[in-house]
Amino acid sequence: MCNYYGVNKKEKGIELKFNAKFDQQGFEPMQEVNGFAHPFMPIIVDQRPDLITGANWGLLPTWAKDTSFQKNTLNARIETLDEKPSFRNSINNRCLVPASHFFEWHWNDEKGKVKQKYQISVADDELFAFAGLYSVWNNPQNGQQMLTYTILTTEANELMAEIHNNKKRMPVVLNNEHHNLWLQGENIKTFAFPYQSNLVANPVP
């Protein structure tokens, strides 16, 4: 699972990292965003890898009746994408989701009544990208289009299995050399079971 993450860089830093330009100005660094609020965040889509655009977190498939469905699609399991109606039609709609860190909780007891929060980032790198999928949803009430996205998850690696010990899942944190491969449609299995990233974790006081 990945329901909280942050981007601690301003527009210039994000543009330099991903060799792309924002199509609209005004993005401000965010230490922590809550997926269940469906924030408007920067992504890079496969059709325009030179642009950083804004989208709402929580993928809306074309058949969704309203935005309430977004609470179900913050994450997508990479192993079962072609089986899920929510994501089946978006498998070829690849995007990068820039981030500087994300958050997970370690359960200190069996029922999760006592938990420790961790901030996870990439070693020796200030920004990275989650592997994501996107969809353009037409609002049936007003006809307006809405760009939405989901973050892919995979089986946890050793570090994340220890931290996220109740689910043993982790987001697909792409290595730098795989950004273009992801956008260009590389086989999804390349990024699963689990996909290995050089992550570091620090407890949040």
- Could you read off the pLDDT of 145-179 as tens digits, one per residue? 999 999 999 999 999 999 998 889 999 999 999 99
List pLDDT tens digits, range 22-59: 999 999 999 999 999 999 999 999 999 999 999 999 99
Whether the predicted pLDDT of 193 surpasses 90: no
pLDDT band of 5, cuts 50, 70, 90? very high
C-alpha neighbours within 13 Å on the C-beta side of residue 147: 15
Note the pTM of the prediction, 2 decimals.
0.96
**What are 60-70's pLDDT values in tens digits?**
999 999 999 99
Which among 5-14, 112-121, 124-133 has the top mean pLDDT? 5-14
Strand 101-107 relative to strand 145-155, pairing: unpaired
pLDDT category at 181 given cuts 50, 70, 90 is very high
Are 104 and 118 spatial neighbours (Cβ–Cβ below 8 Å)? yes
CB of 129 within 8 A of CB of 53? no
Domains in the chain: how many in total? 1
Q: Letter for the amino acid at 178?
A: H
Element (H, E) at 25: none
CATH number, domain at 85? 3.90.1680.10
**Mean pLDDT, residues 2-8:** 96
Tell me the three state secondary structure of residue 36.
helix
